[in-house]
């Protein structure tokens, strides 16, 4: 129960992070300890899930870099590193069992050959999408803070949501075609 509460509490911390950074930087508040929020949030999400321990390491590395250098660029690099880490997880899974195939199996689906091909293609699509999102997030690091905040605190999440929705629609259509 406690772990579930931690995971639920972590979601707002992750989603609101760009706005907390922007608010602190615009108002001149100290930012040294802000990445510790991410370490907590990523740690809560990774608790008991080995696939997400790498994401926790990214958060911890960002926090340590900021703490020891006091360079605020490390605050702004966090979304870049997280997108790269998630994209890397998708891409690395293509050398074995694709991540979406693993998700399908954990959800109780037994995939046939066509389902496994689809899972591989969808995993590749997610890896490419996350790579593109990483590059855009990196570009925003060098743009005004307002642009960084809007992209990493809103547009990026909206694009991920659209990718989820699009992949869901394609998956349903692929299933209908396979069943016909």
Flag whether pLDDT at 125 surpasses 90. Answer: yes
Ramachandran category for residue 143: left, alpha or beta (phi over 0 → left; psi -120 to 50 → alpha): beta
Flag whether pLDDT at 19 surpasses 90. Answer: no
pLDDT-derived band at 175 (thresholds 50, 70, 90) equals confident
- Tens of pLDDT, residues 53-88: 666 677 777 777 777 776 778 788 888 988 998 899
Pick the closest to residue 37 from 56, 22, 23 (CA basis): 56
pLDDT-derived band at 33 (thresholds 50, 70, 90) equals low
The tokens of 28 are what?
């001149």
Contacts of 136 (CB under 8 A, 6+ apart): 151, 156
Average pLDDT of the chain to the nearest whole number = 83
Distance CA 108, CA 7 (A): 23
The pLDDT of residue 48? 61
Pick the closest to residue 44 from 29, 59, 61 (CA basis): 59
Lowest mean pLDDT among 62-76, 89-103, 126-140: 62-76
Distance CA 171, CA 123 (A): 12
Alpha helices, H only, 28-154: 34-46, 53-69, 73-93, 99-106, 113-141, 145-150
**H/E segment holding residue 27:** helix 2-27
Lowest mean pLDDT among 30-39, 77-86, 91-100, 146-155: 30-39
Distance CA 121, CA 141 (A): 31
């Amino acid at each position: 129960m406690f772990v579930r509460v931690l995971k639920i509490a972590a979601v707002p911390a992750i989603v609101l992070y760009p706005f907390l950074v922007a608010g602190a930087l615009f108002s001149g508040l100290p930012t040294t300890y802000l990445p510790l929020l991410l370490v907590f949030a990523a740690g809560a999400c990774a608790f008991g899930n080995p696939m997400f321990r790498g994401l926790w390491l990214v958060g911890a590395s960002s926090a340590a870099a900021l703490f020891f250098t006091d360079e605020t660029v490390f605050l702004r690099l966090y979304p870049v590193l997280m997108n790269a880490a998630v994209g890397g997880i998708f891409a690395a899974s293509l050398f074995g069992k694709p991540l979406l195939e693993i998700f399908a199996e954990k959800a109780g689906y037994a995939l046939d050959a066509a389902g496994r091909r689809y899972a591989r293609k969808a995993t590749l699509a997610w890896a490419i999408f996350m790579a593109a999102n990483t590059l855009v997030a990196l570009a925003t690091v060098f743009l005004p803070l307002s642009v960084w905040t809007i992209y990493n605190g809103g547009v990026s999440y909206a694009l991920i949501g659209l990718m989820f929705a699009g992949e869901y629609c394609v998956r349903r259509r692929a299933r209908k075609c396979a069943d016909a």
